[in-house]
Amino acid sequence: MDTQIKDWLESFAECVRRVDYPCARSLFHPDITGYGSLTDAAYGIESLEHQQWEKVWPHIDDFRFDLDEINCEISSDLRIAFIHTRWASTGYHPDATTFVRPGRVTLLLTRENQAAEWKAKHSHFSLDPGTPLATQRPVPKTCPTQVLNPA
């Protein structure tokens, strides 16, 4: 396993836990195509952020990848990586009780050369069948870089 791939997954998981959209954007290609639990398809990083991330991340906790079960294939020129693994987070029922949100992900990471950083060109996150789609954290988290307007 390429340690840079594991580092990419850990960095993205930390972005999700912090609800840090700018941090996450830095890990993705601007022309990303993403599929998720709340959007059929998002084309471009802004679309992925608005259609998927902003609707989920503030309402979950403890997002993590199963780093022991990563399956990864890297091209012979070391510029393309195909990854699939499991992930989980904590979701919230309307009565504020928690539940485990298990899922799986496939990612296509690319880079210009071996010295460049990996960027996600395609992502597909899905919940395991039977997992509640809706989650509503009692007090949604906010992105640390968002400017809050005083009331």
Q: 58-113 pLDDT, tens per residue?
A: 999 999 999 999 999 999 999 999 999 999 999 999 999 999 999 999 999 999 99
Q: What one-character-per-residue DSSP string does the chain give? A: --HHHHHHHHHHHHHHHHT-HHHHHTTEEEEEEEE-SS-S-EESHHHHIIIIIHHHGGG-EEEEE-TTS-EEEE-TTS-EEEEEEEEEEEEE-TTS-EEEEEEEEEEEEE-SSTTSPPEEEEEEEEEPTTS-S----SS----TTPPPPP-
> Where along the chain do its domains lie?
3-127
**Between 39 and 67, the higher pLDDT residue:** 67
| Model pTM score | 0.91
3-127: which CATH topology? Nuclear Transport Factor 2; Chain: A, (3.10.450)
Mean pLDDT for 26-55 is: 94
Residue 96: the pLDDT is: 92
